[in-house]
Structure 1
Amino acid sequence: MKRSLSIVLAAALATVAVPALAKNVINVAIVGEPDTLDPMVSTKDVVSIVTQHVVETLYTFDGEWNVAPLLAKDLPKISDDGKTYEIALRDGVSFSDGSKLDSADVVASLERWLKIASRGKTVADKVESVTAKGPLAVEIKMKSPYAPLLSLLAFSNSAAAIYPSEIVPEGDGQIDKVVGTGPYEYGEHVPDQYLQLVPFKGFVPRDEPANGSAGKRGQVPDEIRFIPVPDANTRVEGLVSGQFDFADSLPAESYDRIEKSDKAKPVLLENFGWPVWAINHKAGLLTDKKIREALLAALPFDDMLFAAFGDDKFFKVDGALYPEGWAWHSEEGTKAYNQNDPEKAGELLKEAGYDGTPLRILTSRQYEFHYKMAEVAKQALEAAGFKVQMDVVDWATLGQRRNDPALWDVYITHSPFLPEPALTDMWFPSSRIGWSEPKKDETVDAFVSETDPEKRQALFAKMQAEEYDDVGFIKVGNFNALTGEAKTLQGVTPSPWPHFWDAAKK
């Protein structure tokens, strides 16, 4: 059936596929083609949104961002010294290749995650061992207490995904065909047109009521179809015309148009997250701290945010790494934020002996607000004395280039505000940006080892101050994210990584 369906659809396609045969088909417009279907090897949201339907983790987050069990039977039993985690696995869970989940699968998957995943690498040197303790039990031994461990194991981004041990490659090898335990499996894939997910008939859900990504996961749609639509305005037009049931990452200026539509409605995720300039500490111009300080001094964050979002209901000029209301909120170090001082930046460039080497800014128009921020920043940086080179590529190419430190000085990205700061891998020397500074590294090590909440808050405030002092990465501000959905769509909970296993059209 899947093969005949793909033939019918391929003949009918123009720019996107229009499903014809399945009863409840959910069409989701995403910003681009996922460059991998293996969530372990990518931090891209577009990868997480798709793959969470197919591949599962030991734990997940509920609707309040609390860690909850998924493939694990319950939350782990943790030793009094905080260094041993005993994890019982659910019995009777199947992979889509027909094999049954057991401890060997978990051990092989977690060992691979610690070696190759950007988030796994942040904790790898703290892990003493991952061992099977029977067919449905696993033990993780830590060298020292590590407070963020469960949050890392629960995150669907650079995920600690669980695969059958038989398909887990050795070393840095890639998985040719991704197999998971989730409610859906991969169906037809026409690159740059659509990726079809179909229900996995052997799926074994949890019994608890659905709560965020936790609890019982359904199989309501007969088909979920992810359609890569790189142009943001095309995503908007497809939504308001009824072509798409859901569209991700929409421009702020499209809010009114969607609101007036008779077929769609806007969904605003308030206090969603922060745009960030990721700085290359491994190679190039910004390995010089003075030049990083000049960059920070020159950037006009208020102008950048206004250009990106157009209306202050969509953004806030705020230097704190977490907004007010979060336990992690602090004002430490934020005097260095939004200086907008080209003269100071110019003096810092002179002190650094800047020779006119171009500052290479890597960005994409698939997230249009990234590009708009970069355009405004370019003018301000050139006024301060920088020579700027804008490298504008598609999102998949950006994902490839940022892995090579010889190709960029800054790449622009964004992140939701995450419940655990250690989920932001840029804090760790093992991350893609390679930021290592002795004082900061010592504070981060203390932060991840501390279990007392108040002490952790104080340590994070110190981390923030040290981040501003060394210019590890640059927060632009806070923003509200805009998505849109058909008025007929129900069962989709607003989230940075929306899932569609309970989605239906009225």
Structure 2
Amino acid sequence: MSKLPSRVFVVVFLGIVAVLTACRPAVAPTPTPTTAPAPAVAPTPTPTPVTAPAPTPAGPTPTPFIAPTPRVAVTPTPTPAVARGPKRGGTLRFVPHADPATLDPTWTTAYITRNYAYHVFDVLLARDDKMEIRPQMVETWRVSPDGTEYTFTLRDGLQFHDGTPVTSEEAVLSLQRWGKQDAQGKIVFSFVEKIEPIDAKTFRLKLKEPLGLTLEAIGKPSSYLPVVFKKEDALKPPTERADARIGSGPFKLVTHQPGNKLEFVRNDAYKPRPEPPSGLAGGKIAYVDRMEWLIMPDRATALAALRTGTIDYFENPLNDDFDTLSRDPNIQVFVVPYGYQAWLRFNVLHPPFDQALARRAVQIAADQPTYLRAAYGPERFWNTCLALFLCGGPWETNAGTEFALRGDLEKGRQWLRESGYDGRPIVVIAPTDLPILYNASVVTKQLLEKLGAKVDFVSTDWATVVTRRAKREPPEQGGWNIFHTQWIFFDVMDPSVHQGITPWFGFYTNPKMEALRVQWAKETDPAKRKQLVDEMQTLYYEDVPFINLGQNFPIRAAQKYVKGVINHPVPFLWNIWLDR
């Protein structure tokens, strides 16, 4: 296949190739679906209840976001509606990409925990397939005329799996816990004057000044996921793991056997929203009686189980398996829409990468195609991209790229020496149960050795990586220097959500960068926001808290009797039913 330009201005969403003109960056105002956006200051002094996305006060003019797409034909998303219609019953046997090290989605950004949380918990607001904010646990909200006060009312019938009602107090405590941990949440809560329950179903959020991303932050679609916990979990500091087993979502956790499986049953008390499913919003209907999430670290074993019908749905086959799976008459294959941004993450607390010059040394010596081929296979599944906030969108820029990846080993060796590197082993932690990240880690080991560094290559599982990356101790005391990860489109598409330029694991801090992020969130002039993005990307390439290794598009596969799959970056399993 001939290589096409990396900036492809077409988006695949729900598995259907279409031009997406309704998407916007996460801090853009949310227009109502049937009328033109209302002005920031309401024409009447009385706030108006809404059950659909309300216009967000004090935000920039919406900019369409054209997301990246792979250079490969995409299997259309199966429609849930067939001649017989959906039916209840059966057990869905699903192989997730990893075993969760924790069940707490506010303690970790690990996607396996986020995916678990989407099934066991619920969220206040959610994004639909056009990236619009929709009510989920919330029934209505009101915005004051000056845009500084939001009043939310929960819908009727919400209850936790133990039968206790969901209260506004628990919604408030959960948001406060999330706001201490999440990059976007921290911005919002820096503007919060007060958040408090009014009655059992209603709570009020009072801001010091209008902030355009308020609703979109509460409706954040990915990690850290702002779910509503029971009170005892919501009161836990976000640095401590909550038990996180009892939620209010469409499925109940029955058991978690680490290293083996998670078992769920349908929550018969759950009341889905009446709207049809759309993205992460709308009705979440649990058609299957049970789900088994089977932990299979060996991908060949999982692939064989899929092809023999032992399992129903495999979250992450390798892209190299695409052609073989596509030829199987019993299997349907999905290319994940929007894609991921791949990272090499540094620990900036300890030598040698406490020095920015050492981090620049690795970056200047690396090149994206080598990593992308090793981790993601054929070129049709990846695009090179140097933009911090993705290529193909409104925040793409070339600012600062004079320090970008160029495969310059000589310059890399020079800078590593000049940084003061003393020959100590560099600890790279590599998850053997995630081949894409493991393969990228092998490339890093080889690159560091070419630069003259010693490498302590630690092969382990992803659950251990998730635990170890939180350690601040020196590498020789159980800490680390480098690990690889990747982020979906939602988590890197603009400065308010991008964890890579925050103190996320790796512990990078720069007051200038944080001030730029907050200024960007407050700014209403698109031209000034673009200038701020240029400044942030230039600072990113100078500081190098992580190396951007490009954009990629993984695949998923399921038996053809698995109906109702909505192809989405988050692999949710509600609305799925079994036709066998």
TM-score, scaled to structure 2: 0.78
Equivalent residue, structure 2, for 1:425: 499
Q: Give the match for residue 355 of structure 1.
A: 422
Number of the residue aligned with 2:214? 149
State the shift of 1:177 in Å: 5.6
Are the equivalent residues in 2 in contact too, given 1:110–1:162 (CA < 8 A)? yes
Work out which of the residue numbers 448, 455, 472 in structure 2 matches 1:405: 472
Q: Deviations over 1:341-393 (max 9, x none)?
A: 01101111222222112222222122211111221232222222222222221
Q: What residue is the counterpart of 1:414 in the other structure? A: 486
Do structure 1's residue 93 and structure 2's residue 164 form an aligned pair? no
The 3-state SS of whatever aligns with 1:494 is: coil
- Any idea what SS the aligned residue of 2:285 has? coil
Deviations 1:57-93 (A, max 9, x none): 111111122222111113x434455443222221232
Distance in 2 between the 1:316 and 1:174 partners?
A: 36
For residues 145 and 186 of structure 1, the distance between their equivalents in structure 2, rounded to whole angstroms, comes to 39
Match of 1:465 among 530, 533, 538: 538
State whether residues 151 and 420 of structure 1, in contact with CA within 8 Å, keep that contact through their aligned partners in structure 2. Answer: no
Query: Could you say which residue in structure 2 is the equivalent of 1:389?
Result: 456
Name the CA distance, whole Å, in 1 between partners of 2:271 and 2:368.
48
Q: What is the CA–CA distance in structure 1 between the aligned matches of 2:273 and 2:136, rounded to whole Å?
A: 7
Q: Please tell me the residue identity of whatever aligns with 1:42.
A: T
- Give the whole-Å Cα distance in 1 for the aligned partners of 2:306 and 2:268: 30
User: Residue in 2 aligned with 1:58?
Assistant: 124
Cα 1:287–1:160 change in 2 (3 A) is same
| Structure 2 CA distance for partners of 1:368 and 1:147, relative to 1, 3 Å | farther
Q: Corresponding residue for 1:132?
A: 197
CA distance in 2: counterparts of 1:277 and 1:424, whole angstroms:
15
More helix per residue: 1
AA in 1 matched with 2:103? L
Q: Is the 8 A contact 2:495 2:520 kept in 1?
A: no
Q: Distance in 2 between the 1:421 and 1:235 partners?
A: 37
1:476 equivalent in alignment to 2:541 = no
Partner in structure 2 of residue 185 of structure 1: 252
Alpha carbons 1:427, 1:444 under 8 Å: kept: no
Alignment match, 2:114: 48
Q: What is the SS of the residue equivalent to 1:267?
A: strand
Question: What is the count of residue pairs matched by the alignment?
Answer: 483
Equivalent residue, structure 1, for 2:56: none
Aligned match of 1:161? 227
Q: Quick one: percent identity of the two aligned structures?
A: 27
Once residues 138 and 203 of structure 1 are traced to their aligned partners in structure 2, the CA distance between those partners, rounded to angstroms, is 22
Match of 2:97 in 1: 31
Which position in structure 1 is the counterpart of 2:142? 77
| 1:275, distance to aligned residue in structure 2 (A) | 0.9
Residue 277 (structure 1) aligned with residue 344 (structure 2): yes
Task: After TM superposition, list the pairs within 5 Å mapping 1:230-379 onto structure 2.
Answer: 230-379=297-446
> Where has structure 1 moved over 6 Å in runs of 4 or more?
none
Retained in 2: the 8 A contact 1:27–1:227? yes
Q: Which amino acid aligns with 1:238?
A: A
Contact 1:258–1:264 (CA under 8 A) maintained in structure 2: yes
C-alpha distance after superposition, 1:133-192 (max 9, x if no partner): 233221122344444333332234222221232554454554436222211111233332
The letter of the residue matching 1:44 is: A
Q: Indicate conservation of the 8 Å contact 2:389/2:495, yes or no.
A: no
Give the 3-state SS of the residue equivalent to 1:139 in structure 2: strand
Higher mean alpha-carbon deviation, 158-167 vs 407-416, is at 158-167
- TM-score, length basis structure 1: 0.89
Structure 1 gaps of 5+ residues are 1-21
The residue correspondences of 1:13-28 to structure 2 (distance < 5 A) are: 23-28=89-94
Deviates more, 1:480-489 or 1:184-193: 184-193
What is the distance in 2 between the residues matched to 1:165 and 1:23?
Answer: 33
Tell whether the 8 Å contact from 1:322 to 1:417 is kept in structure 2 after alignment: no
Other structure's SS at 1:287 match: coil
> Does the Cα contact within 8 Å between 2:168 and 2:197 map onto a contact in 1?
yes
Mark the CA change 1:150 to 1:359 in structure 2 (over 3 Å): closer, same or farther. farther
Question: Where do residues 206-217 of structure 1 align in structure 2 (5 Å cutoff)?
Answer: 206-217=273-284
Once residues 273 and 108 of structure 2 are traced to their aligned partners in structure 1, the CA distance between those partners, rounded to angstroms, is 27
Q: Is the 8 A contact 1:145 1:450 kept in 2?
A: no
1:96-124: CA deviations, max 9, x gaps? 11122221221222223234567645654
The alpha carbon displacement at 1:308 in A equals: 1.6
